[in-house]
Structure 1
Amino acid sequence: MIGIVTDSTVGLPPTVAASLGITIVPLVILFDQEAVLDGVDLDSAALFRRLEAAPIFPHTSQPSPAAFVQAYSRLIAAGAEGILVIVLSSRLSGTYQTAHLARELLPDELRRVPIEIIDSQSAAIGMLPAVLQAAREARQGRTLVEIRAHAQEILARTHFLGVLDTLEFVRRNGRLNGVLATLGDLLDLKPILVLERGNIVAAGLARSRRRACRHIAQLVRTMRPIESIILGESSPGAADDLRRELQTIYSGELPLYPLGAALALNTGPGTAAVAVVSRSPLSMGTSWSAASERSA
C-alpha cells in the first residue's frame, strides 16, 4: 500500500481523514508559551473563542520534524511500501522543508521505503482535490509514481481564491500595514485573495461582501470548463454568499469543508474560500487583475 500524508490546513476532520486512509500532520499554534495542535486541540471555532480572552495574539508554526517522523514510522510499520506527502506552499510555511528533514532523520531500516514530497504551491482546500484523489488511488493499489504524477497534474489545474470579512487578522500577523487595515475596515472593504505560484496575491478590494463574492464567481467563470469546486469557510455561514453566487455559473455539487484554525488565525472569522479544478491548466494572473479592476 501507499501511505498518503498531508498537513492540517487541508481542512479534513481527523475522523474523516482516518476513514479515507489519510494521515494528517498538524501545524502548531503558539499561545505565548503554550503550543496547541491545529485540528487536534482546537478548530477554528474554538480558536476564535479563545482569542477573546488571549492577552497576546498567537502565531502559527510548522509541524516539528518529530511529528513527520512519527507519521512516516507509523505508516511504514503498518506496511506502507511508499509514502506520498502533499503539503502547503513552501512560500507560506516551512512545512515542506520540515517534511524533507524528517525523511532524512528516519532510522536506516525505515529509509528503504520511498517517500515522495510535493510542494503543493497551494494551501487548505486548494490541496484537497489532489489529496482526496491520491487517497482514492492508494486504495485502488496504484503505484507511488502513478499517484504522485496524478496529484501533481491535479494541483496544476486547481485554483484557490478567497474573501476576508475583516483586515484585522491580516494586520495582526504583520502582513498588512495597520493604517491600511483600519481604513479598510472603516470603509467595509473586503479583500479578495488568490494563490498564485505558491504566493498569496491580492486580486482586489470589493465595497461589500456580496460584490466580493460576485467578483470571485466571475473569476471562476473564466476557468471553464470546470471539473469540480470545493468551498471552505472559517466560521459557520461564511461561505453562504459565495455559494449563492457560484450557483449562478456552476450547476455541480459544492461540498463545504472547514478552514482549519491555523489558516483562520491568519484570515479571521467570516473568511470564505473556493478551490476550482479546471479541466486544463490555466494561468490566471492577468485576467484576475483585469477582472478586479472591472468589478471590485
Structure 2
Amino acid sequence: DLHEDGSLSPAELFRLAEATKRPVRTTSPAPSQFLEAFRRAHESGAGEVLCLTLSARFSATYEAAITARGLAAEELPGLDVRVVDSGGLAMTHGFAVLAAARSLAGGASSGVAAGQAARVGERARLAGLLGTMRYLARGGRVPWIVHWAAQLLRIRPLLAFAEGRTRSIGRVRTEEKGLARLVEYAKAHTSGGALRAAVMQTAAPEAAQRLSEALRRELAPVELLQTDFTSVMAVHTGPGFVGLAFYEDD
C-alpha cells in the first residue's frame, strides 16, 4: 500500500510493519507534485520560488525538483524557480529552511536566503540514539546479524550525521548513558556561540524531555525546538529513537 507522508502516524506504521513483517520503503515526491506547488505559487502572483530539498545523497527529492523546475520554465513564464540542496536530513534540513525563512522575512533576496540555507545545512549536525536496529536491518541498511547481536547484548547504537555523511559514534547499554553521550557530542562540536538546537523523537517522549532539559542546563541554547519524527523518518529509525540537531548561528 502507498501512503502519503502525514496520512499514517508512526504508531500506525509500526503496527502495520510488525503485523505484516514486510519491509517498509519510502519514495520521494514526483516531479508533478513539485510542479503543482510551483503552479500554485504562480497563480498567487509570486515571481520567485525558493525550493529547498533534502540532501541529494540520501533522497531523489532534489532531482525531482530540478525536473519540475525545467517543466515550470516551459509552462510558467515569468516564474523564477531556484532549487537548493540543503545537504541536510530531518532537522538539519529544517534548520536550513528556517534560516532561509528568517532571511526572507528580514527583506533579503531569494539568492541571499538560498546562500544562508546552504551555509546552515553545511554547518548543522545531527546525532541520535536508536531504540532498535530492526528497522535498519529490514531496510537493508545493516546486516540482520548486527541487529541480532545488538538485541542479544542489549546494545543501543549512537549515530551522527554531519557534512553529508552518517557514522557511528558509539554504543551504550542504557538510555541514560545514551542521552549523556548525545549532550557530550553537542558540547564537543560547539564553541560557545549562539546555539540553535532541536530534539527529535519517535515514540520516546520522556527521553526527549530529559534530553531537552539536559541541553538547556548544559548548553543554554538561544533556540530549542522539540519535534516528532514523521513516518518517513520513523521508517528508518524504528520506535524508541531520540536525537538532537544543532548548529551555532552567526
Say whether the fold is shared (TM-score over 0.5): yes
Q: Give yes or no for the alignment of 1:67 onto 2:37.
A: no
Q: Give yes or no for contact 2:124–2:162 (8 Å, CA) kept in 1.
A: no
Using the TM superposition, give the Cα deviation of residue 142 of structure 1 relative to its aligned residue in structure 2, in angstroms: 2.6
> Residue 229 of structure 1 aligns to which amino acid in structure 2?
A
Alignment partners' CA distance in 1, 2:63 and 2:73: 18
1:35 correspondence with 2:16? no
Residue 117 of structure 1, aligned match among 72, 76, 83: 83
Question: What is the CA-CA distance between 1:73 and the residue it aligns to?
Answer: 1.2
Conserved 8 A contact 1:90-1:198: no
Contact 1:121 1:199 in 2 (8 A): no
TM-score of the two chains, using structure 1 as the length reference: 0.77
TM-fit CA distance, 1:50 = 2.9
Q: Tell me, what secondary structure is at the counterpart of 1:275?
A: strand
In structure 2, distance between residues paired with 1:143 and 1:54 = 49
What is the rounded CA distance, in whole Å, between the counterparts of 1:196 and 1:250 in structure 2?
19
Are 2:209 and 1:234 aligned?
no
TM-score (structure 2 length as normaliser): 0.90
Note the aligned Cα RMSD (angstroms). Answer: 1.9
Q: Structure 2 residue aligned with 1:263, among 229, 233, 241?
A: 233
CA 1:217–1:113 in structure 2 vs 1: closer, same or farther (change >3 Å)?
same
Name the structure 1 match of 2:141.
Answer: 175
Distance 1:139 1:251 in 2: 26
Question: Per-residue CA shift, 1:154-178, capped at 9, x if unaligned?
Answer: 2232111111111111111001111
Q: Write out per-residue CA displacement over residues 242-286 of structure 1, whole angstroms, 9 at most, x where no aligned residue.
A: 224323412235320111111101110111121111246xxxxxx
Unaligned runs of 5+ in 2: none
- Take 2:149 and 2:62, find their aligned partners in 1: how far apart are those partners? 35
| Aligned-partner Cα distance in 1 for 2:200–2:60 | 23
* Percentage of identical aligned residues: 27
Amino acid at match of 1:276: F
Q: In structure 2, the residue corresponding to 1:42 is in which secondary structure?
A: coil
SS at match of 1:59: coil
Structure 1: gaps of 5 or more residues: 1-33, 281-296
* Structure 2 CA distance for aligned equivalents of residues 151 and 194 of structure 1: 20
SS in 1 for 2:88: coil
